[in-house]
Amino acid sequence: MAVTNEGVTNQTLNLPEELILMLLNEENGYFHQVPGWDLNCAVAGAVLAELSLLSRIDTDMDSLFLVDPTETGDPAMDPILKEIASESSQRSTQYWIERLAPSAESVIDLTLDRLVNLKILEYHDGEFWTLAHTGWQMELYGNSQEGTAGQFIKTRISRALFMNEIPDPRDIIVICLVNTCDVFRFIFQLDDESEARIQLICKMDVIGRSIADAVAHNLAGPLLRRSALTRKIPAVSVLKALLNPHVRTGNIPALFADLAQKYGPVFEIRLPFAKPMIFLASPRTNRWAHKRGRMYLRAKDYFADFEKVYGASGVMPSLDGGDHFRLRKAMSPAYSRRRLEGQLDQLYHYARNHMAHWTVGDTYPATTMCRLMINAQLSPLFISTDSQDIFDDLSKYKERALKVHILKVLPKFMLKTPAMKRRAKAVDTLLGRIQSVYTPAQRAGCPRTLADDWLNLHASDPQFVPETTLRFQLTAALIASVYLGDAFSFALYAMASQPELYAKIQSEADALFDSGDPNNENFTPSALDVTHRFLMECLRMYPIVPMSIRTMMNACMVEGYELPVGTNIYIAQTAPHYMKDVFPDPFTFDIDRYLPPRDEHHSPGYAPFGLGPHTCLGSRWMELQLAINVLMVAHYFTIEVSPENYKFRFDPLPSMKPSKKLKFHIAEQRRELHV
């Protein structure tokens, strides 16, 4: 089918692309899918059908044979054609579907990339795709029509199904494949007549039918094969894990990297009287969690007790599927880099005002100093409210709640101690402050904030974002100050303890700030060359969130092991940060890893912002704010690590931060702050 994007390009979509567009579900940003069938089989079928339409192969009821080995020029299909050409014996279509299905993932990736490049799909962080809203014009049956490409394909198919139009051979194949996947019922409202029509159309084309039959036969396979292939998940004794030297330094990623080296990428730790904990620790399991996890992993359960502490249910980190996608989409502008770029003047102002309290010669505890510096910016930018006086209470209460209800390393009563009850009141104090400034008259003419977005979403759909959710989301906005503040303290430690890098960052900072405050255009890759790679290396060696917890909601084979339904899965996404085959010499701070040709961060083993649908929504915001803070400290101050003989350790719970002993000494103020 020819597609024209307002004269920009003229392309023909192939069957895998049409199938992907047909299966795309705009409501959850992914595909219509039912557990138990494999998208890979359907896509492998679409590739074979396309090769058949291109006269490269032919099929009959018994076998699939090569007709012409000439490359098609399509990078997704040519490797498959080559594989078929190199097979000496003649095999059935079913055989080929089974053989090609495991590698169909790369076809899906290439197909999605191509559709994004063609501006037919839009990609969103977290592995979501939606139809692009560019005006598309399709030439079909001599008519020109407007719409998105996906809508258009669905319209064509619906005409064949509901208006008895004669479908073309490609549409018949798409109909056969979608029918085999049993997802028509999610795409259209079907009645008996249309069901009968689908069955009729599926019989119209021999290629489509033989391929769809082969796909259907393969679909039953994985479920039946699973138990025969399952290996026992290696168990790690708690004692052995605790005796690992990285436990002493609090280095959780290095601990899991070590365990993975000894036991493999999937292992289990059993604590007495607790549910078994299954850990995934490798670049390949990261890739699985990122790309495929949404079908198998649920976020809701691990978060439920924690959100209840705030009286909430169904906040962003605990939602799954379509609701989660809808909320993420609605809130993504509020967490975007663009939002921060529009407020750089305020950011500089708050940062300078805060640094004006630092005194040369004084020494400050690292985490408190850095968290307060970040909160001095995030609190007014997110919720137009000063919260410095209650920030310690808010963060200590939240950290205790995380230890009790997410990590479950403390008993429940530890959240009810008199000190914690007092700290809990800070949540209401903060909400009261937000309410007092978020009145229509006071907000008139103010730049839009995160709180505006949450309050507007609540007003427009109070069932979707009820007050209980608001209470959590508005106060939890400051959790970002903890994560970002701790990343900032790691960065200052790395800078102050490596004078050569400090000097290079200082010279980038001076070049940017010497002639006034930089604007967004000044933050070019070359202006931030060292600082950017330095921060990437900080996030590798000192990740804040070392792993994510999920519940297995559909059984699945991963790396040859069956992960049983209902178990708790700990995705140790940052374990590869300390694997020497992913990051050679992993304990060495080396910012050149990120230069071509090394590009070590291109591996799925680099995951400081998590994986899959819940990937950090604020990562771009965070990168800019962190870089600006490091640059401003370097521009205005010389800081030193204190005590001089400080031995680096992590305090890993509930999230990773430097140990309490780390302090920063303000050795010199390099220039006036002009607040």
Residues of the shown chain interacting with ligand HEM in the complex, contacts defined by CB under 6 A: 316-317, 328, 335, 480, 483-484, 487, 544-545, 548, 608-610, 614, 616-618, 621-622
Minimum distance of ligand HEM from residue 662's CB (angstroms): 17
CB of 619 to ligand HEM, least distance (A): 6
Q: What amino acid is encoded at 661 in this protein?
A: K
**Over the range 354-389, which residues count as b (16 or more CB within 10 Å of their CB) and which as e?**
bbeebeeeebbbbbbbbbbbbbbbbbbbbbbbebee
Nearer to ligand HEM, 108 or 316 (CB): 316
Quote the CA–CA distance of 511 and 607 in Å, as a whole number.
31
Nearer to ligand HEM, 110 or 406 (CB): 406
Place of tokens 């439920």: 304
Least separation in angstroms between CB 480 and ligand HEM: 4
Q: How far is the CB of 85 from ligand HEM (least distance, A)?
A: 43
Q: Identify whether the C-beta of residue 116 lies closer than 8 Å to the C-beta of residue 59.
A: no
Helix (H, G, I), strand (E, B) or coil at 238: helix
| Minimum gap (Å) between residue 456 Cβ and ligand HEM | 17
Residue whose C-beta lies closest to ligand HEM: 618
List of residues 6+ apart from 638 with CB closer than 8 A: 667, 668, 670
Say which residues have a Cβ less than 8 Å from residue 181's Cβ, sequence separation at least 6.
23, 32, 33, 34, 37, 39, 42, 215
Spell out the alpha helix ranges (H) of 25-165.
39-53, 78-85, 93-100, 104-117, 149-162
- Torsion, CA 359, CA 363, CA 367, CA 368, rounded to 10: -50
Ordered strands of the 2-4 beta sheet:
10-12, 2-4, 136-140, 143-147
Give the shortest CB-390-to-ligand HEM separation in angstroms. Answer: 19
Nearer to ligand HEM, 248 or 338 (CB): 338
Sequence-separated (6 or more) residues with CB below 8 Å from residue 640 = 496, 664, 665, 667
- Cβ distance to ligand HEM smaller for residue 208 or 608: 608
Give the number of C-alpha atoms closer than 13 A to the C-alpha of residue 573, restricted to the C-beta side. 27
In terms of CB distance, is 175 or 624 closer to ligand HEM? 624
| Measured distance CA(521)–CA(330) in Å, rounded | 27
| C-alpha distances in Å from residue 92, one per residue of 32, 96, 177, 178 | 28, 7, 18, 21
**What are the C-alpha distances in Å from 48 to residues 88, 108, 109?**
18, 14, 17
646 touches 346 (CB < 8 A):
no
For ligand HEM, give the closer residue by CB, 181 or 374: 374
Minimum CB–partner distance for residue 216 and ligand HEM (Å): 35
| 531/518 Cα distance (integer angstroms) | 15
**Closest to ligand HEM by CB, 170 or 620:** 620
Please identify, using beta-carbon distances, which residue of 371 and 504 lies nearer to ligand HEM: 371
Closer residue to ligand HEM, CB minimum distance, 170 or 298: 298
Q: CB of 608: closest distance to ligand HEM in angstroms?
A: 5
Beta strands 24-25 and 650-651: pairing type? unpaired
Cβ 543 to ligand HEM, closest distance in Å?
6
| Shortest distance (Å) from residue 544 CB to ligand HEM | 4
Q: Which is nearer to ligand HEM, 183 or 538 (CB)?
A: 538
Nearer to ligand HEM, 317 or 654 (CB): 317
Q: Minimum distance from CB of 617 to ligand HEM (Å)? A: 4
